[in-house]
Amino acid sequence: MLYQHCSVRARSAPDLVKCPVHTFLALISSLLRTTMLAFSYPRWRTAFGATNLAANNDPGLKLGKASLITPNIFLSDYYTARDEKELIKLGITHVVSVLEHDPVIPKCIPEKNKLRIQIMDRPDVDILPHLERTTEFLRLALEEPMNKVLVHCFQGVSRSATVVCAYLTSTGMSAKEAVKFVKSKRGIRQLEIYAKRYANVSQSRRENTFSRNIKKLKISDGVAERIRWLKGKGAEPVEVQEVNK
């Protein structure tokens, strides 16, 4: 199973055979660590089984491929984001990388069209402080209808999916609707952990904003009422005179 999984990541079995031993070992180590972090299983065999199960059961998740979420937004793993031919084929103009290490993005993507968010793939890591920045980056990029954005993390199933969901909520979707929509396009087994937290914070922010707006309205209403009362008394606006020093 391990060889099969690594072969998928290396695009083909021959590619894996040709790679240096240290590269092969590094790939195995990275896959073990990332998969166990992403799926929170106590043993690597169980974690890999869950990974394969997600890939087999969800038609939207294909290892090494990008999933089309909206006509202008793609969600993928890191290996797809590194593939220049794939980026050109998809027409990608912007890339959002959500990784703990520096990504190697092909030169076909200009530096100004790249955004990197440094964050580890663990449920206890707070991604929320970064979502406003990623959402704004997506919004500005998509102001041009011809632009296409690829959002990726290592596997394309948690951190990057959360970024896409956050953007979708800015377009009018609720957090639950966004999660359901993205799940229909790509397997995102662990997104509920992030989404629940995001939904709670999002709701809290909306309530705080609503509360502030109500206070502003009350103040405005009070001023307006005072002006109406003064006018009713026949008072006229007084011109402010400059005081000579």
Cα 215 off chain centre by: 33
Q: Any bridge partners for residue 74, and if so which?
A: 68, 150
Q: Rounded to an integer, what distance in angstroms lies between the CA atom of residue 109 and that of residue 51? A: 30
C-alpha triplet 51, 55, 60: angle, nearest 5° = 140
- First-to-last alpha carbon distance for the chain, in angstroms, is 87
Active site includes 153?
Answer: yes
CA 152 to chain centroid: 8
Listed residue (5, 9, 8) closest to 79, CA to CA? 9
Q: Which one is catalytic: 6, 19, 108, 153? A: 153
Which residues 6+ apart lie within 8 Å of 95 measured at CB? 81, 87, 105, 109, 113, 114, 115, 149, 150, 151, 152
Coil, strand or helix: which one is 70? strand
Radius of gyration of the chain (CA): 25
Q: How far apart, in Å, are the Cα atoms of 197 and each of 15, 86, 151, 202?
A: 40, 33, 20, 8
Burial class (CB in 10 A: 0-12, 13-18, 19+), 121: buried
The residues annotated with a catalytic role in the active site are 153
